[in-house]
Chain A
Amino acid sequence: MTAVLVIEDDDRIRLALLLALEDEGYEARGAATAEEGLRTQRRDPADYVLVDLMLPGIDGFEGIRQLRRDDDVPIVVVSARDDTHDIVAALEAGADDYVVKPVAIKELTARLRALRRRGRAVTAPDGPEPVPVLAFGELEVSPEAGEVRRSGEPVAVTRTEFRLLCELAEHAGRVLSRQQLLSRVWGYDSGDERLVDVHVGRLRQKIEADPANPRHLVTLRGLGYKLQR
Chain B
Amino acid sequence: MRRLGLRARVTAAFAIGALLLSASMALVSYELTRRTLLNERERTVLRAAYYDAAVVRAGLNTENPDVAEALRALDTGTGRRPLVLLDGEWYARSADTGLTTIVPAQLQDLVSAGEPAVQRVRLNDSPVMLVGVPLSESTAFYEIASLRELEQTFQVLALALTAVAIMVAGSGAALGWYATRHGLRPLTAVADAAERIAAGDFTTRLAPDTDPDLNRLSTSFNRMVDELAGRIDRDRRFAADVSHELRSPLQTLAAAASVLSRRRENQDERTATAARLVADEIERFQQLVNDLLDLSRGDQPVHREPVDLPELARQACRDRDLPESMVQLAAGTPPSWRVDRRRVTQVLTNLLDNAERYGAGPIAVRLSHTADTGVIEVDDEGPGVPMEDREVIFDRFVRGRAANYRGGGDGTGLGLALVAQHAAAHGGDASVSDRPEGGARFRVTLPGSVS
Interface residues of A (CB under 8 A from B): 10, 12-13, 15-17, 19-20, 23, 78, 80-82, 100-106, 189-190, 193, 222
**Known A-B contacts A23-B262, A80-B247, A102-B286; A12 and B254 likewise in contact (beta carbons under 8 Å):** no
* Residue contact B255 to A17, C-beta cutoff 8 Å: yes
Write out the residue numbers on chain B whose beta carbons fall within 8 Å of the beta carbon of A189.
315, 319
Contacting A at CB under 8 A, from B241-264, are: 244, 247-256, 258-259, 262
* Residue contact A103 to B251, C-beta cutoff 8 Å: yes
Write out the residue numbers on chain B whose beta carbons fall within 8 Å of the beta carbon of A103.
251, 254
* Residue contact A101 to B250, C-beta cutoff 8 Å: yes
Binary per-residue interface labels of chain B (303-328) against chain A in the complex, 1 for a CB within 8 Å, 0 otherwise: 00110000010010001000000000
Known: A20-B255, A222-B305. 19 other contacts (CB 8 A): A10-B248, A16-B251, A16-B253, A19-B255, A20-B256, A23-B259, A80-B248, A101-B248, A101-B251, A102-B250, A102-B251, A102-B286, A104-B286, A105-B255, A106-B258, A190-B312, A190-B315, A190-B341, A222-B306
Among A13, A78, A82, A104, which residue has its beta carbon within 8 angstroms of that of B252? A13
In the complex, residue of chain B having the shortest beta-carbon distance to the beta carbon of A107: B254
- Identify 10 residue pairs between A and B in the complex whose beta-carbon atoms are under 8 Å apart, listed by A's number: A10-B252, A13-B252, A16-B251, A16-B256, A16-B259, A19-B259, A102-B289, A104-B283, A105-B255, A190-B315
**A190 to B348, alpha carbons, bound, how many Å?**
13
* Residue contact A100 to B247, C-beta cutoff 8 Å: yes
**A222 to B303, alpha carbons, bound, how many Å?**
12
Which secondary structure dominates where chain B touches chain A?
A: helix
**A16 to B244, alpha carbons, bound, how many Å?**
19
Q: On chain B, which size bracket covers the interface? A: 20 to 34
Residue B204 at the chain A interface, CB threshold 8 Å: no
**Known A-B contacts A80-B244, A100-B247, A104-B258; A16 and B252 likewise in contact (beta carbons under 8 Å):** yes
**A103 to B305, alpha carbons, bound, how many Å?**
27
**A104 to B258, alpha carbons, bound, how many Å?**
8
**A51 to B289, alpha carbons, bound, how many Å?**
22
**A189 to B311, alpha carbons, bound, how many Å?**
11
Write out the residue numbers on chain B whose beta carbons fall within 8 Å of the beta carbon of A80.
244, 247-248, 251
**A199 to B283, alpha carbons, bound, how many Å?**
31
Among B255, B283, B312, which residue has its beta carbon within 8 angstroms of that of A16? B255
Write out the residue numbers on chain A whose beta carbons fall within 8 Å of the beta carbon of B250.
101-102
Residue B345 at the chain A interface, CB threshold 8 Å: yes
Write out the residue numbers on chain B whose beta carbons fall within 8 Å of the beta carbon of A15.
252
Write out the residue numbers on chain B whose beta carbons fall within 8 Å of the beta carbon of A106.
258
Write out the residue numbers on chain A whose beta carbons fall within 8 Å of the beta carbon of B283.
104
